[in-house]
Structure 1
């Protein structure tokens, strides 16, 4: 079980109610499940978001295949509008 920090950007920050928080999770999938329990709006935003783990894009890789290490920083990047 890794411990780290999750950071929320834009509408994800609004949905979470905080800019960042500590986490304990072994995989990105587990982390997403934990942060969205009881937070329906954050769950909706997370389904449409991209993620960075330690600055590296997750892309289309399965979230349960993304192992998190101690000290990891996960960033939630919702879709951005505009140009």
Structure 2
């Protein structure tokens, strides 16, 4: 299990009620499950629409259970952005 930081942006930040918080998880799926438990309600809906960066690298379509998290890493939670 690794420890790091989850950073929430835009609608995810509003739904979580915080800009960032620590994680203790081996995979992205575990980190997101823990975030849903800490912030029941709207965050679960927002996370379904989000894209994710792990230490600056896009997750893309990979299964979240296959994305390993590093010690001291950062998960960026990015809701869809409008505009251009």
**Which TM class, normalised by the smaller chain length?**
over 0.9
User: What TM-score comes out, normalization by structure 2 length?
Assistant: 0.95
Where structure 2 has 5 or more consecutive residues not aligned to the other structure, the ranges are: none
Q: Note the aligned Cα RMSD (angstroms).
A: 0.8
The alignment status of 1:13 with 2:22, answered yes or no, reads no
Q: Partner residue of 1:54?
A: 55
Please state whether the residue corresponding to 2:48 is helix, strand or coil.
helix
Structure 2 counterparts to residues 1-83 of structure 1, below 5 A: 1-37=1-37, 38-83=39-84
Please state whether the residue corresponding to 1:48 is helix, strand or coil.
coil
Count residues in correspondence: 83
User: What do the CA deviations read for 1:15-69 (whole angstroms, capped 9, x no partner)?
Assistant: 0000000110010001111101152211100111000000000000000000011
